[in-house]
A = this chain, B = another copy of it.
Amino acid sequence: MPTTAKTNAGNFFEDFTVGQVIEHATPRTVTEGDRALYGALYPTRFALPSSAEFAASVGLRGAPVEELIAFHVGFGKTVPDVSLNAVANLGYAECRFREPVVAGDTLSTTSEVIGLKENSNGRTGVVYVRSTAKNQRDEVAVEWCRWVMVHKRDSSAPAPEPVVPDLAKVVAVDDLVVPEGLDFTSYDFTAAGEPHRFDDYAVGEKIDHVDGVTLSDAEHMMATRLWQNTAKVHFNTQARPDGNRLIYGGHIISMARALSFNGLANAQLIAAINAGAHTAPAFAGDTVYAWSEVLDKAETSAPGVGALRLRLVATRGRDESMTLRGEDGKYAEGVLLDLDYWAFVPR
């Protein structure tokens, strides 16, 4: 009898072709349980996803959950098909949050292969995909590109014609999607927790978010399972020589975003992720801190709504000097995440 033929071995580099569309299993309904678990796993306090009343007060229908819930759910779906045999998650680009997700929405995710480039070693290659998570009304909740280094099944397989997509370095301000109805003209700064508005932030300004959280295995495993992310290294001490469970990079993104409340409490909504790099692995016992840098500012056409382009950096241990790179141009020791994103803030 065949014994493992029915299990998913994941795709290898030579299984991908440019233009290929993958419909990922399995659709997933987001619930108030997800919101509560998100709040238990990350120290988030942003008023908009925390309070249905606050969300209504800024013109939103329903009570959207954190944007990153949509991102993690969508991302998790792509893992069995795209990155089960990945060596590394290399980068993100052109990620836009469009229709807010409320409890009861069911997300389904598809990916299109938009680039392929075999590495010179002949054993791995880079796969570029554009993924889209839609709700049950076929509206796009979130879309993003990422590229991953994937093993070849057979190093002697011929290399495909290299196709490297031309991805935007930054999502253009005009491409940001303001949720329907969003209006910050009567924004309650007291309820939100900080007085700082659009005009109070200057390009180049850095903010040390001060607080730190020590990571635990139970928590990162629960988070990663919640998004139905199946990458073995996050759950299985036998999957790595060192016996450690590697923490899902998205766990660090959410932890850093939550820590950034302290100083960026009014960066209520993530509008886009321009770029992101997981620069070092994180493990249970590490204490994560975060700092931010204001990279750009822009107005939007929505009433009272401005956009800040922010660099969010997570570090192992606090770095009050907020150093991104050393003199050698490499990421400084302890930097775990370098995330470039747009957020909507009150003007």
Residues of B within 8 A of A33 (CB): 31-37
In the assembled complex, the CB of A241 is this many whole angstroms from the nearest CB of chain B, namely 15
State which of B8, B41, B192, B217 has its C-beta within 8 Å of the C-beta of A225.
B41
> With contacts A1-B202, A6-B196, A6-B263 known, is A230 near B211, CB below 8 A?
yes
Interface residues of A in 1-38 (CB under 8 A from B): 1-4, 6-8, 23, 25-29, 31-37
Are the C-beta atoms of A25 and B287 separated by less than 8 Å?
no
Residues of B within 8 A of A59 (CB): none
State which of B34, B80, B208, B218 has its C-beta within 8 Å of the C-beta of A216.
B218
- Among the listed stretches A44-52, A91-99, A160-168, A175-183, which one makes contact with chain B, having 4 or more residues with CB under 8 Å of it? A44-52
Is A265 close to B, CB under 8 A?
Answer: yes
Residues of B within 8 A of A295 (CB): none
State which of B63, B208, B219, B228 has its C-beta within 8 Å of the C-beta of A3.
B208
Is A304 close to B, CB under 8 A?
Answer: no
Is A280 close to B, CB under 8 A?
Answer: no
Category for how many chain A residues contact B = 35 or more
In the assembled complex, the CB of A267 is this many whole angstroms from the nearest CB of chain B, namely 11
Residues of B within 8 A of A214 (CB): 217, 235-238, 245
Is A209 close to B, CB under 8 A?
Answer: yes
Residues of B within 8 A of A106 (CB): 51-54
Are the C-beta atoms of B6 and A192 separated by less than 8 Å?
no
Residues of B within 8 A of A232 (CB): 211-212
With both beta carbons as reference points, the residue of chain B lying nearest to A223 in the complex is identified as: B40
Is A207 close to B, CB under 8 A?
Answer: yes
Are the C-beta atoms of B43 and A191 separated by less than 8 Å?
no
Is A322 close to B, CB under 8 A?
Answer: yes
Is A239 close to B, CB under 8 A?
Answer: yes
Are the C-beta atoms of B63 and A29 separated by less than 8 Å?
yes
Residues of B within 8 A of A196 (CB): 6
In the assembled complex, the CB of A285 is this many whole angstroms from the nearest CB of chain B, namely 8
Residues of B within 8 A of A136 (CB): 53
> With contacts A8-B262, A191-B108, A238-B287 known, is A43 near B228, CB below 8 A?
yes
Interface contacts beyond A6-B264, A211-B230, A216-B221: sample of 18 additional A-B pairs, CB < 8 Å, sorted by A: A4-B208, A6-B194, A6-B196, A25-B45, A25-B190, A25-B191, A26-B46, A29-B51, A29-B53, A33-B35, A36-B36, A40-B226, A43-B225, A53-B108, A212-B239, A216-B218, A218-B219, A219-B222
The 5 closest A-B pairs by CB, nearest first: A33-B36, A25-B193, A218-B218, A27-B51, A31-B32
| A interface residues, Cβ below 8 angstroms from B | 1-4, 6-8, 23, 25-29, 31-37, 39-47, 50-54, 63, 80, 103-104, 106, 108, 136, 190-194, 196, 200, 202, 204-214, 216-219, 221-223, 225-226, 228, 230, 232, 235-239, 245, 262-265, 285, 287, 317-318, 322
